Amino acid sequence: MTALEPAPPPRPLGPLARYEQSVIDRIIDFDNPRQEWRRLVSELLGTFFLVLAAAGGGMMGHAFPGVISHTAAVTAPALTVMAIILFMGKISGAHLNPAVSIAFALRRDFPWNRVPGYIVVQLIGATLAALVLHLIINVSAMYGSNYPAHGYSAGAAFWMELILTTGLVSVILGTASGAQNVGIIGAFGVGSYIALAGLWGNPISGASMNPARTFVLRGRGGGKSGSGAAQGDLFTEGYDSGKS
C-alpha cells in the first residue's frame, strides 16, 4: 500500500470479541451507577492489600524481631500500591486513600456524591486487613499503626504527615492530569514516592500518608488504664496495664 492509498477499513469484531468489549465498557464506565459495586469492591480489596503490607511489616517485625528491616517495611506498601494501580486502576481508579478521593473531588475529576462510599469501603478494607493480620500473627495491630516517635510531639508528627501526604497527592494528581497523563507509568511514580517518603520520613510519624492506613485496630482494650480513661478517671498512666 502506497502513501496515497486509503487505509483499509477495520475488520469487524466477532461475537465473542464484541461481548468482551461490551463487558469492559460496562466495567470502566464511571458514569454507570449499576457498576458502582464493582468499583467499591475494588477499592475495598485494594485498600485491604495495601494495609496488609503496610501494617503487616510492623506487626511481623514485632513477632519476629530482626527479620523485617526498616527498608523492607517502607518498600513493601510502595510496591503493593504500584501493583494495585496496575491491576485494578482501570476499575476504580485505585484511590486506596480518603485523601486521594477528596483531592480528585476537589479538582472536579470525581463526583462528590461517590466520595463517602469510597471512604467507607477504604476504612472497611483497612479494618479487615488489621483483623486478618491480628488473627494470623497473633500480635496487636497497634504495632502496625502510626504513632509519633518517642520524644516528638503529636504536632511534629502531624506536620510531617501533612507534608508527606501533600507530596503524595501532588504526585498522584500530577501523573493523572491532562498535560501529564502518563497512564500506567504513573503507578511507578506513585510507588516510588511512597517508598522514598517512607525511607526518610517514617521515623517521626510512620509516613502513613493515608487516613485509611492509619485506621487500624489496636486489639484488646488497655486494661485498667484504658477502662479508667473511658470512665472519666484522670492520670490513668499509673494504673496497671495488664489484661482486663
Q: What is the pLDDT of residues 154-187, one digit of tens each?
A: 888 899 999 999 999 999 888 876 545 556 778 8
Would the pLDDT of 239 be above 60?
A: no
The top-scoring range by mean pLDDT among 60-64, 124-128, 180-184, 233-237 is 124-128
Tell me the domain boundaries of the chain.
35-215
Could you tell me the CATH superfamily of domain 35-215?
Glycerol uptake facilitator protein. (1.20.1080.10)
User: What does the alpha-carbon distance between residue 55 and residue 94 come to, in Å, rounded to a whole number?
Assistant: 19
User: What does the alpha-carbon distance between residue 103 and residue 169 come to, in Å, rounded to a whole number?
Assistant: 7
Q: What percent of the chain has pLDDT over 70?
A: 73
Q: What is the pLDDT of residues 41-57, one digit of tens each?
A: 999 999 999 999 999 98
Q: Give whole-number Cα distances, 201 to 33, 36, 153, 168, in Å.
A: 40, 36, 15, 13
Q: What is the dihedral of CA 209, 212, 217, 218, to 10 degrees?
A: 20
Which amino acid is residue 189, in one-letter code? G
pTM: 0.75
The more confidently predicted of residues 241 and 73 is 73
Structure confidence at residue 68 (pLDDT) = 87
- Long-range contacts made by residues 6-13, C-beta under 8 angstroms, separation at least 24? none
Mean pLDDT, the chain, integer:
79
User: What does the alpha-carbon distance between residue 88 and residue 109 come to, in Å, rounded to a whole number?
Assistant: 18
Q: What is the pLDDT of residues 208-219, one digit of tens each?
A: 899 888 877 554
